[in-house]
Amino acid sequence: MKREHVLIFLFLSFVSIFFYLFYSLMIDFFAPISWAAVFVIIFYPLYEKLSRKLKSEVIPSLILTAGIIILIIGPFAYLFGVLINEATIAVAKVNAMYQSGQLEKTLAVDLPWLETVKSKLSQYYDLSEINLDSLIKQAADNLGGFLFAQTSWLITNGTKFIFYFGLMIFSMYYFFKDGDQIIHQIKRLIPLTVEQVDITFKRLREVIYATMYGGVVIALLQGLLGGIMFWIFDFTSPVFWGAVMALLSIIPIVGAFVVYIPAGLILMIGGSFLQGFLIIGIGMLIISQVDNVLRPIMISGRTSIHPLLLFFSILGGISLFGLLGLILGPLIAAVFMTLLQILEYKLHPVDVVESDETIE
């Protein structure tokens, strides 16, 4: 074996060992660092404007970090506490209705068309063993177990949560302040020409912004409007149902209508026809239209992830990272697509650059 090969092998071995050691050092702080990166990505355009106006890096970093804590994280922490409380009450109410038999009476609605559908389906599936109220109770119990686990974690790991929160704030400040330098160092490690690297990072930035603004921000706005609507109509647990609408709005194909249409229909069946009609009407004309109106404005000229890839990246993200996966999943998908773009540049550098110039 040649001496050069031995040296290369030793170098790669040392690199692998220290990569693993560095990974072991940082993995416990993955969540706060990731949340800090998410907030910085969302507000970085505002940071760039403030930085140019104030001709400083430190002051805009302090302003935005403090602003995110006061205006974003504080209200969200309060809403999370309210959400936990409302969801616990809702689960307890479902269990009480199940025990008393009221849930079965509520679901036993005599609709001729529904019976016709059941008779048609019974030719292919045995529907006699399906107990709808027990399924609803099981779903409520699962939700209650999840919420209890989250609340228990916060109570038993309160000190750890506060420590992680501090790490997130600390990371946000330096991501704002030194973000350009970090990106510059990453660019230097990519084995492409300067022009190709710039095009690659431009596409990555567009995909991330399209995902964040076209997905997360719009979903939060729809959830807020939905919660206000349910509060106006005196629904039980409006914050909880608003949060569910926001969650469903992030997922492609699914949306806020999965909540407000059944809610309106249930009210109509129960005799509150006008109230149910208004909920469906407001949902269709206002809440759902937020996506149609704001999405083109927020992601105009930006490349978004394909809906199918976005759908699976969200589900996979939730499976791997929990709540953080709602945002981290699409971000990982965006980085993966950018890595494929780098591979394309390496294989066909001239063709790709020419196609980019043609598009621009």
Give the dihedral of Cα atoms 333, 337, 343, 347; nearest 10 deg.
Answer: 150
Handedness of CA 137, 138, 143, 145 (dihedral sign): positive
Residue reference for tokens 């969302």: 42
- DSSP secondary structure letters along 53-108: HHT-SHHHHHHHHHHIIIIIIHHHHHHHHHHHHHHHHHHHHHHHHHHHTHHHHHH-
The residues near 14 (Cβ < 8 Å, ≥ 6 apart) are: none
Pair of tokens at residue 121 = 């389906």
Instruction: Tell me which of 121-135, 223-237, 305-319 is least confident.
Output: 121-135
Give the Cβ contact number of residue 165 at 10 Å.
15
Pair of tokens at residue 114 = 């529904």
Q: Does 282 or 330 have the greater pLDDT score?
A: 282
* Average pLDDT, rounded, for the chain: 75
Q: What share of the chain is helix, strand, coil (3-state, %, to 5)?
A: 85, 0, 15
Tell me the per-residue pLDDT of 134-163, one tens digit each, with 9 for 90 and over: 555 565 566 556 555 655 555 666 677 778
Tell me the per-residue pLDDT of 337-353, one tens digit each, with 9 for 90 and over: 777 877 777 777 665 55
Predicted confidence band at 358 (pLDDT cuts at 50, 70, 90)? very low
Instruction: Tell me which of 37-51, 96-110, 233-247, 302-316 is least confident.
Output: 96-110
Q: Does residue 286 carry a pLDDT above 60?
A: yes
Handedness of CA 53, 56, 57, 58 (dihedral sign): negative
pLDDT at 17: 92
- Size of the chain, expressed as the number of residues it contains: 360
For the chain, the domains span 26-188, 190-360
**Alpha-carbon span 38 to 31, nearest angstrom:** 11
